Amino acid sequence: MVVGRPLTEHELVERARGGDGAAYATLVRDHEETAFRIAYVICGNAADAEEAAQEAFVKAYNALGRFRLGEPLRPWLLAIVANEARNRRRSAGRRAALALRAAGEGRPSGEAAPSPEAALLAGERRATLLAGLGRLSERDRTVIACRYLLDLSEAETAATLGVRAGTVKSRLSRALGRLREEVGEDV
């Protein structure tokens, strides 16, 4: 069949359910970056994150029959990824801090370029924040990463973490409080 437009997610899921591997690969490609990054935040290292994300996508394929067509796919996939990443982290028995590095300037567009001193300070601040984030417990850093670093909505974060939206709010506020403590700010 020739289709003159890209397939919608709904169509891709239906085809993947019918055993169309190429359709599923397209879905994986659409979500692999966020999936890998969530797994990275949870596992704390890239090798485990890659294995967890890969395993999760295979499991998700086998569970596609249980996915409710019409619902958004991303949170459903990310929940499987987060679960797999936690399992891997547990069985690895490692509790290493997460290493995150800041990239680029990160300043809002439209602002004048900062002076070298200001740039240095801003760079230090970013490094402090990311180091603090890395020292938080897995639960705290994952909720912060979902909402702010990966830009998931509150509903998506809730689905990914398998909790209610209200729980995301309270968990986030506690996690931010602990991050403030980590970076030496008054709460």
Partner 1 sequence: MSDLELELRELRVEWPETPELAGAVAGRLERAPAPPRPGLWLHRPAWQLAVAVVALVVAVVAIVPPARSAVLDLLGFGSVRIVREEPSRFGAALALGEPVTLEQARERFPVVVPEELGEPDAVYLTEQPWLRVDLVYREREGIPASSNTGVALLVTEFHAVAEPLVQKTVGQGANVERLTVGGDPAFFISGANHGFAYIPEGTTGAFEESRLAGNTLLVERSDGVLLRIEADIDREAAVRIAESVE
Please state the closest distance from residue 4 (CB atom) to partner 1, in A.
23
C-alpha 27/C-alpha 6 separation (Å) is 12
Nearer to partner 1, 54 or 153 (CB): 54
Q: Which of 119, 116, 169 is nearest to 146 (CA)?
A: 169
State the CB neighbour count (10 A cutoff) for residue 152: 23
Please state the closest distance from residue 156 (CB atom) to partner 1, in A.
15
> Among all chains, which residue has been given the structure tokens 């890659």?
50
Q: Which of 97, 10, 90, 88 is nearest to 52 (CA)?
A: 88
Q: Provide the binding-site residues for partner 1, judged by CB under 8 A.
A: 16-19, 21-22, 24-26, 28-29, 32-33, 35-37, 40, 46, 49-50, 53-54, 57-58, 61-66, 86, 89-90, 100-108, 125-126, 129-130, 136-140, 144, 148-149, 151, 162-163, 167, 170-171, 174-176, 178-180, 185
Nearer to partner 1, 72 or 99 (CB): 99
Please state the closest distance from residue 115 (CB atom) to partner 1, in A.
18
Q: Crossing angle for the helix pair 165-182 and 116-135, nearest 10 degrees?
A: 120
Residue 58: how many CA atoms within 13 Å on its side-chain side? 7
Nearer to partner 1, 7 or 58 (CB): 58
Please state the closest distance from residue 86 (CB atom) to partner 1, in A.
6
